Amino acid sequence: MAVTDEPALRADDLHYAYGDRVAVDGVSLSVSRGEILGLLGPNGAGKSTTIKMLIGLLPPAAGRIEVLGMPMPQQRMQIQARIGVVFEEKNLYPNLSGRENLAFFARLFGLADVDLDALLERVGLGTRGRDRVSGYSKGMRQRLTVARALVNRPDVLFLDEPTDGLDPVSARSIRALIRAEAERGVAVLLTTHDMYEADALSDRVAFINEGRILALDAPERLKLTHGQRSVRVRRQVGDTVEETVVALDGEELRALIGRDGLLTIHTEEATLEDVFVDFAGRGLE
Ligand code: ATP
């Protein structure tokens, strides 16, 4: 992957509150070209509010945002021409076909030379592009939303819960598209409350809880540094099978291995959820 040092997106000490409710409380992050940064946190953690500030939908109460070297919101129009956004609220036109939806969006950008058929092909809607969106499945709509975000060949892509509620096949095809965009040098920021998604897609993961970033690192490093590996041991005890989970490097394991009736021993890697609990004192759900 072509990750470079130059950050395409940088946010410093962002704050936002809805009335008295603090939603974002000092968030700083940066995303390089070709990099996928996953913002992982439970419902209400402040992920959507952070993205809304980064794409210019909400003005930060405090903090600084720079996208492609331009300050947000001061250069909002110039920035919006060069970013792509996949947001939870998917405002597609149901009575138009998928292709017409894309054409409409391309016109908004003043782009005349977009190869809409190639774009529809890329998101697996090649044969359904002329059908009305009202007849699309949830996965097809989401793929069309991703296609729409790619109409202007963006340099930075923002995706809020891109695979939420999709079946595994649709989710996989959207993940493949996101990876392909990063491969061509796009900086990607995505939010998710799904640790598998964060782990599978992100070069780096930021844990967010109660509006604050608790940790930010490569998923492997988070798991290795903070997660404790465990061992699942199954033993035959009389007529029953007893299953115990113990730490990999503890006395307990040595004691168990010395006993009779050993059936299986499996090491288990820490998950991002385990590490998240370590930092936040709560899980992702
Ligand atoms: P989810 O995964 O549920 O989308 P999130 O991590 O994106 O959650 P936000 O939507 O940013 O979190 O919400 C952060 C906090 O701000 C929450 O406490 C939420 O209740 C509150 N909040 C969000 N939008 C509004 C709003 N329009 N008015 C008032 N409070 C809001």
Residue nearest ligand 1's atom 28 by CA = 18
Amino acid (1-letter code) at residue 101:
N
Task: Say how many Å lie between the CA of residue 239 and the centre of ligand 1.
Answer: 52
Task: Say how many Å lie between the CA of residue 174 and the centre of ligand 1.
Answer: 25
Task: Say how many Å lie between the CA of residue 138 and the centre of ligand 1.
Answer: 23
Task: Say how many Å lie between the CA of residue 149 and the centre of ligand 1.
Answer: 23
User: Could you tell me whether strands 212-217 and 240-247 are parallel, antiparallel, or unpaired per DSSP bridges?
Assistant: unpaired
**Tokens for 171?**
């989710």
Which ligand 1 atom sits nearest the alpha carbon of residue 50?
11
Number of H helices, E strands in the chain: 10, 13
SS3 content of the chain, % helix, strand, coil (to 5): 35, 30, 35
Q: What is the pTM of this model?
A: 0.88
Reported as type and span, the H/E element at residue 121 is helix 116-122
- 156 Cβ neighbours under 8 A, 6+ residues apart: 8, 9, 31, 67, 68, 82, 83, 84, 186, 187, 188, 189
User: Quick one: three-class SS letters along 29-48?
Assistant: EEEECCCEEEEECCCCCCHH
Give CA separation, 110 vs 68, 114, 151, 152, in Å.
21, 10, 11, 10
pLDDT attached to residue 182 = 97
Q: What whole-number distance in Å separates Cα of residue 163 and Cα of residue 205?
A: 17
pLDDT attached to residue 88 = 67
pLDDT attached to residue 270 = 84
Task: Say how many Å lie between the CA of residue 211 and the centre of ligand 1.
Answer: 10
Q: Exposure string (b/e) for 4-25, b if CB count within 10 Å is 16 or more?
A: eeebbbbbeebbbeeeeebbbb
**Tokens for 59?**
């003005």
What angle is formed at CA 190 by the lines to CA 189 and CA 194, rounded to 5 degrees?
Answer: 150
Residue nearest ligand 1's atom 25 by CA = 18
Residue nearest ligand 1's atom 27 by CA = 18
- The candidate with the shortest Cα–Cα distance to 206, out of 6, 74, 77, 24, is 24
pLDDT attached to residue 216 = 97
Pocket test for ligand 1, best of 22, 47, 208, 282 (most atoms within 8 A of CB): 47
**Tokens for 138?**
């949830």
Q: Along the 285 residues of the chain, how does pLDDT read in single tens digits?
A: 455 556 899 999 999 999 999 999 999 999 999 999 999 999 999 999 999 999 999 999 999 999 999 999 999 999 999 999 998 666 799 999 999 999 999 998 899 889 999 999 998 899 999 999 999 998 899 999 999 999 999 999 999 999 988 888 888 989 999 999 999 999 999 999 999 999 999 999 999 999 999 999 999 999 988 777 788 899 999 999 999 888 887 788 888 888 889 899 888 888 899 999 989 999 888
Which ligand 1 atom sits nearest the alpha carbon of residue 24?
14
pLDDT attached to residue 64 = 98
Give CA separation, 127 vs 103, 124, 135, 218, in Å.
17, 8, 14, 38
